[in-house]
Amino acid sequence: MTGLSKYFYIASTSAKSNVAYLGEVASRVIFLAVILYIFLRLWQVTYAETGASELGGFTLAQMLWYLAVTESIILSAPRITQMVDRDVRTGELAVHLIKPMSYPLYCLGTSMGERVVRFALNLGVGLVIALIFVGPIPLQPLSIACLLLALPLAFVLDFLANFLIGLGAFWLEDTTGLVLIYSRITMILGGMLIPIELFPEAMQSWLRVLPFASIVYGPAKMLVAPSTSALTELLIIQSLGIVGVGALVAIVYGIASRRVFANGG
């Protein structure tokens, strides 16, 4: 296998492996159901107390469908930081380095394969729950198309950020703290809990251009309010984010690879 095809093969193997353990993955959806129910109640009470039919341009049904997508994105995130951290600490990285493939691209393939399966399952369950709780929302083929186009770059950008944190294992005793902080910042500044439209106005403009929103808010908004101009803007922000974080990864990985010392076998 040559070029990029081997990494697609790795992604497909990772996806198949996750499908084989679908029962284990499915058991995690109970949490998704609990969190969606809590948010349904939170927003039901908020809409009732304000007497508004729309908040930030979202009806209650749209809000829950939006939350089903944002939760699915966040909950489908593979533990890539822990994987890189482990490889660095155990020295397994040295074994990867002698293989005829790029270690970051190998991790990207594994991560994408796992994420696609987890996301599909979470989204399926999340949308069924949303359907049961608040009924359907008007969906056009454009909504699905925009969501599907916005997701791959969002996943790549999220992977790069997590991989970068994982590389911190070369210098830090523990990267758990950093990844926890990153995931929480993505949740709040990315619009997982509240759509960007409901943030204070002064914050909205800069939140939209940060990479966090292009991982979570951007794709989710595409499902409930699709627009080709918003999609173009989102893809540009995602691409710029990938170039920026990707460059950082390349620099840090270059420095880190020179610190690999293998002893014995």
3-state secondary structure of 171: coil
Rounded to whole angstroms, how far apart are CA atoms 264 and 15?
Answer: 33
146: amino acid identity, one letter: C
- Regarding 185 and contact with another protein (CB under 8 A), the answer is yes
Query: What length does the chain have?
Result: 265
Interface residue with another protein among 194, 210, 225, 248 (CB under 8 A) is: 194
# residues near another protein by CB under 8 A: 32
Interface residue with another protein among 83, 101, 188, 240 (CB under 8 A) is: 188
Mark the segment that binds another protein (CB under 8 A) among 34-42, 57-65, 74-82, 110-118: 34-42
- Regarding 45 and contact with another protein (CB under 8 A), the answer is yes
Interface residue with another protein among 80, 84, 157, 178 (CB under 8 A) is: 178
- Regarding 24 and contact with another protein (CB under 8 A), the answer is yes
The first and second tokens of residue 78, run together, are 């593979």
- Regarding 19 and contact with another protein (CB under 8 A), the answer is no
32: amino acid identity, one letter: L
Taking the complex as a whole, how short is the minimal distance between the CB of residue 71 and another protein, in angstroms? Answer: 12
Taking the complex as a whole, how short is the minimal distance between the CB of residue 257 and another protein, in angstroms? Answer: 23
- Regarding 34 and contact with another protein (CB under 8 A), the answer is yes
Count Cβ atoms below 10 Å from residue 74 Cβ, excluding itself.
20
Query: Taking CB under 8 A as the criterion, which residues in 150-169 touch another protein?
Result: none
- The enclosing H or E element of 3 equals none
DSSP sequence for 21-59 = THHHHHHTHHHHHHHHHHHHHHHHHHHHHHT-S-BTTB-
Taking the complex as a whole, how short is the minimal distance between the CB of residue 38 and another protein, in angstroms? Answer: 5
Mark the segment that binds another protein (CB under 8 A) among 5-13, 135-143, 176-184, 224-232: 176-184
Helices (H), ranges, the chain? 5-20, 22-27, 29-50, 60-75, 80-90, 92-97, 103-134, 141-167, 176-189, 201-209, 211-215, 217-224, 228-257
- Regarding 147 and contact with another protein (CB under 8 A), the answer is no
Q: Which residues bind another protein (CB under 8 A)?
A: 24, 27-28, 30-31, 34-35, 37-38, 41-42, 45-46, 49-50, 172-174, 176-178, 180-181, 184-185, 187-188, 193-194, 198-200
